[in-house]
């Protein structure tokens, strides 16, 4: 359904309605600059239409209300310098963002979880339990919270993702040029990540690399699942090193060579050493044992990330210490 003359979209939180357009609300036209070239259309709209939920962005794209060079465009369309974008009138509620109380403490402490920062980027030690970004029923994520805490920056975008229950190093770009640089480093596999995870049993020291292609499926319930599939899966590889052998468990370092969804979790489960606390791919028996010891989350932590500084060109190594709740479990299993 397209907008009738004199109508506009009204966005209030996650509610969207069509109302009569106010006189000062008009269709606007944006010309893509060289700095914005290469960005996905949906991400560009999320940035210029601040406060508009992701679901709304996809709705106006599906309805053809957004046009690129007078034509419909897919959300994944990569912008080119000089593209003209038609943006429909969207009136966004100016009411303050309300952060759910369940996550308020974590968000307030976010400013103390910055591991590294320069003029181009921020590396945050993301807490477990907070999504990297809002959407799909999640009111807010780390990036929305960071924008609220650092309103002086007009541009803050995630350079990559971490699962909601995974903690650790997460890079946020403060410049469009830095984001493009970091994306290229990910594509060329310049960026190296090291995770710490706890798995059941004794890991075979000869098992240094797991190569198993992965495919992502959507269940009828809408839940996203990933599985090993040697016929149609995408090439996926994860390196593993033993950090410490514990009481019927092993503390492992996992180094993903590819960046597939849930890669470490699925590869660990594939070799019969599932990640502790993983309710989707894990062992119910091992999870119950860890829960009895006090673990209330998945034991997966992005402990270290190595990349090239987009500004200086120097190699940067940023680390996030193992959270107390995970360190305590390791100490208990040493006894």
Burial of residue 311, with CB atoms counted within 10 A of its CB: 0-12 exposed, 13-18 middle, 19 or more buried: middle
CA dist 90 and 328 (Å) reads 49
Please answer whether residues 269 and 282 qualify as being in contact, where contact means their C-beta atoms are separated by less than 8 angstroms: yes
User: CA 312, 313, 315, 316: dihedral to nearest 10 degrees?
Assistant: 40
CA dist 266 and 268 (Å) reads 5
Do the strands 224-228 and 214-218 form a parallel or antiparallel pair, or are they unpaired?
A: antiparallel
CA dist 277 and 288 (Å) reads 8
Please answer whether residues 252 and 197 qualify as being in contact, where contact means their C-beta atoms are separated by less than 8 angstroms: yes
Q: What ranges in the chain are assigned the alpha helix state H?
A: 41-48, 54-62, 101-108, 142-149, 176-187, 263-270, 284-292, 324-334
Q: Is 163 a catalytic residue?
A: yes
Catalytic option among 112, 163, 241, 309: 163
The DSSP secondary structure of 206-244, one letter per residue, reads T--EEE--EEEEE-TTS-EEEEE-TTTPBP-EEEEEEEE
Please answer whether residues 298 and 129 qualify as being in contact, where contact means their C-beta atoms are separated by less than 8 angstroms: no
Residue among 164, 121, 174 nearest 140 (CA): 164
Backbone conformation region of residue 163, classed left if phi is above 0, alpha if psi is from -120 to 50, else beta: beta
Please report how many Cα atoms fall inside a 13 Å half-sphere around the Cα of residue 308, on the Cβ side.
13
Report, as residue numbers or ranges, the catalytic residues: 163
């Amino acid at each position: 359904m397209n907008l009738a003359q004199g109508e506009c979209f009204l966005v209030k939180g996650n509610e969207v309605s069509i109302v009569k357009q106010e006189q000062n609300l008009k269709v606007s036209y944006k010309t893509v600059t060289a700095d914005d070239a290469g960005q996905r259309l949906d991400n560009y709209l999320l940035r210029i239409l601040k406060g508009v939920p992701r679901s709304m962005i996809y709705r106006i794209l599906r309805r053809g209300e957004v046009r690129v060079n007078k034509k419909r465009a897919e959300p994944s369309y990569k912008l080119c310098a000089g593209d003209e974008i038609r943006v429909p009138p969207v009136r966004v509620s100016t009411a303050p963002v309300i952060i759910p109380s369940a996550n308020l403490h974590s968000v307030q402490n976010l400013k103390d979880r910055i591991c590294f920062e320069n003029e181009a980027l921020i590396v945050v030690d993301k807490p477990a339990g907070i999504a990297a970004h809002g959407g799909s029923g999640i009111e807010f994520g780390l990036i929305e919270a960071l924008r609220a805490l650092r309103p002086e920056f007009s541009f803050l975008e995630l350079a990559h993702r971490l699962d909601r229950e995974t903690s650790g190093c997460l890079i946020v770009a403060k410049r469009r040029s830095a984001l493009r640089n970091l994306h290229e480093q990910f594509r060329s596999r310049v960026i190296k990540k090291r995770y710490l995870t706890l798995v059941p049993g004794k890991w075979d020291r000869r098992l240094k690399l797991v190569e198993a292609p992965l495919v992502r499926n959507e269940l009828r319930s809408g839940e996203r699942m990933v599985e090993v599939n040697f016929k149609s899966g995408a090439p996926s590889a994860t390196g593993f090193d033993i950090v410490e052998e514990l009481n019927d468990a092993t503390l492992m370092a996992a180094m993903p060579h590819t960046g597939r969804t849930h890669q470490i979790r699925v590869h660990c489960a594939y070799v019969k050493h599932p990640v502790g606390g993983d309710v989707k791919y894990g062992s119910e028996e091992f999870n119950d044992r860890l829960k009895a010891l006090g673990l209330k989350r998945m034991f997966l932590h992005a402990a270290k990330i190595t990349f090239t500084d987009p500004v200086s060109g120097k190699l940067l190594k940023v680390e996030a210490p193992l959270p107390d709740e995970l360190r305590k479990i390791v100490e208990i299993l040493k006894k």
